[in-house]
Amino acid sequence: MFKYYPVRTLPEYPDASPYTTGIDVGTPDMHVEPQTLNIGWLGLSTPFPTAAPLPALCDVLWHHCLYPIFQLRGLPYPCPLCQQARYPIEYACDDKRLILGTAEIRVLHPDGRRFACPDLIYHFVVDHAYAMPAALQAGLRYGLEPGSAAFAAIIKDTEKRWMEAMKAWAWQRDYGDAAGA
């Protein structure tokens, strides 16, 4: 399907590290999601715990992938573990087809914690038996429902604030000296 294999690799962050910049690594930290933790940004340099995936949790994870945030344009990221052997990473579930490696997802825990994951986390769990941290599993079980209006509002608001911050940052970068003149 894809003629070209991208040279970029998914950014790798330790689980539970503070979220600064996600899948679009060329951008600076916009500080629009201060309470957010990275989960599932796997790569080749760090071993990860494994466990047999629980189908019910995989279903919820898939549901989150249907409501992504920060959708990228351009080529999907490859899985850092499969690389060219399986590219792009594509699934069809419940009449929906998705190419992963193109967006992030948010899992919104009822206690207010937010988890930022690459959409590839679904693949990591299903095909690489990545054992999600307990907090993320709880967020999936009891957190805000991705199809809900409340969830959509949070995603939309985050993207809007990020876009405004990016515009301000780019303006400062390009016209910073002239801005005060």
Rounded to a whole number of angstroms, the minimum distance from the CB of residue 85 to Zn ion is 8
Region near Zn ion per CB under 5 A, out of 47-55, 73-81, 109-117, 161-169: 73-81
Q: What's the rounded Cα separation, in Å, for the pair 87 and 67?
A: 22
Contacts with Zn ion by CB under 5 A: the residue count is 3
Q: Which is nearer to Zn ion, 62 or 162 (CB)?
A: 62
Residue 18 identity: P
Please pick, from the candidates 81, 103, 107, 121, the single residue that binds Zn ion as defined by CB under 5 A. Answer: 81
Rounded to a whole number of angstroms, the minimum distance from the CB of residue 61 to Zn ion is 15
Region near Zn ion per CB under 5 A, out of 67-75, 76-84, 111-119, 153-161: 76-84
Give the angle subtended at the CA of 167 by the CAs of 162 and 172, to the nearest 5°.
125
Q: Which is nearer to Zn ion, 81 or 140 (CB)?
A: 81
Q: Which is nearer to Zn ion, 82 or 131 (CB)?
A: 82
Rounded to a whole number of angstroms, the minimum distance from the CB of residue 154 to Zn ion is 29
Please pick, from the candidates 79, 100, 105, 136, the single residue that binds Zn ion as defined by CB under 5 A. Answer: 79
The H or E element containing residue 142 is helix 134-142
E strand map for 41-179: 89-93, 96-100, 104-108, 114-118
Q: What's the rounded Cα separation, in Å, for the pair 55 and 57?
A: 5
Strands 114-118 vs 89-93: parallel, antiparallel or unpaired: unpaired
Q: What's the rounded Cα separation, in Å, for the pair 118 and 42?
A: 9
Please pick, from the candidates 57, 60, 72, 82, the single residue that binds Zn ion as defined by CB under 5 A. Answer: 82
By rule CB under 5 A, what string of x and - marks binding of each residue 29-58 to Zn ion?
------------------------------
Give the angle subtended at the CA of 18 by the CAs of 108 and 166, to the nearest 5°.
85
Binding stretches for Zn ion (CB under 5 A): 79, 81-82
